[in-house]
Each structure stands twice: as structure tokens, then as C-alpha cells.
Amino acid sequence: MAIEADPRLFDIIHRTHDLNGLSGPLTVRTCIATCNQELIDAGTTKFYVGEKFCASSLLGARKLKSIVEVPVIGLPELIRERRANVLIVDVEGAETDIFNGSPLETVERILTEIHLNRIGREGIRDIFRNLDALGFVYDPAASAGSVCGFRRIEET
């Protein structure tokens, strides 16, 4: 399952899936999945669409093209419903909302791009602390550059 806030990317995600010869069903939901209860309760939020898709964000966009209203769903419920075991996160600075202590019971591994320019060093520290509290440890073998891998600490 892919969650993508930018409605322009829906068809591109499907084409990329097909071009790479991936098998199995692909579900793409155009929405925001978060642990931020205020956003979940609101039901929708503004998404700032940049001229380049990689500049789009909940936090504003460089070279703003438009603002769209997108649905918001709860990430913990989605993870439980899908029994997701891997979480890949590239949310252009909203990482701190996802890793805020909300339960990620079935998740075993996480890959997340860290956006230092958006969240600062304090935000990075918050992510690491919050994931530690949830039983995750930094995984250098799954990390490169601004992408950090984490794995659940195995219970003994």
C-alpha cells in the first residue's frame, strides 16, 4: 500500500509499479496518514503542492503551485488494519508527527528520510528518542545519507 498526499502522483506510482515488473496488488490512497490526533480529528488538511513534486509538503512548498485539501487518516489504525511490517517514510519534514509515541505494533523495520532543513537537529533527536521508546534501534546497514533505517529490538 502506498499513501501519497500529492494527487498528481497517483498515476505515476501505478506506472512505476508496472514498469518495474512488480507483482501483487497495489493500493494507492491519496491522503495524509499521521499520528497527529488534531489532524486526524479535523478529517482533512491543506497540502502545499510545489512545482516539483519533491518540494510539496504539509509545511509549505518552495515555488508553490497550488494548495489542495486532502483527507487525513490515522496511521496506527492503518498499520493495524493492514498488519504492515515495514514502514517507508518520506514526508518532507512531518516525520516528527509519525514517530511521536503512537503504537506501531506490527512494524519490524522503518526507513525514513530525515529532512534536517525542515525539522532541525532537535527534530532528529525527537525521532530517535521516540523510536527508542517504541523499541526500535538505528540500523546502520539500512541507512545511507539522509535515509535512516531502524529495526525493532528483538525481545529475549
Each residue's pLDDT, cut to its tens digit, for the chain (156 residues) gives 889 888 888 888 889 988 998 887 778 889 989 888 888 999 999 988 888 777 777 776 678 888 889 999 998 888 988 899 999 988 876 777 777 767 788 999 999 999 888 889 999 999 999 899 989 999 999 999 999 999 999 764
Do residues 13 and 31 touch, judged by C-beta distance below 8 A? no
- 29, 57, 75: which is the final residue of a domain? 75
CA quadruple 33, 39, 5, 130: dihedral positive or negative? negative
- 36, 51, 75: which is the final residue of a domain? 75
Do residues 107 and 100 touch, judged by C-beta distance below 8 A? no
pTM: 0.81
Residue 109 amino acid letter: R
| Three cell numbers written together for 45 | 488538511
Number of structural domains found in the chain = 2
CA quadruple 68, 69, 75, 78: dihedral positive or negative? negative
- 75, 101, 133: which is the final residue of a domain? 75
Residue 88's domain spans which residues?
A: 83-156
* 65 and 2, same domain (yes or no): yes
| Three cell numbers written together for 153 | 529490538
* 103 and 44, same domain (yes or no): no
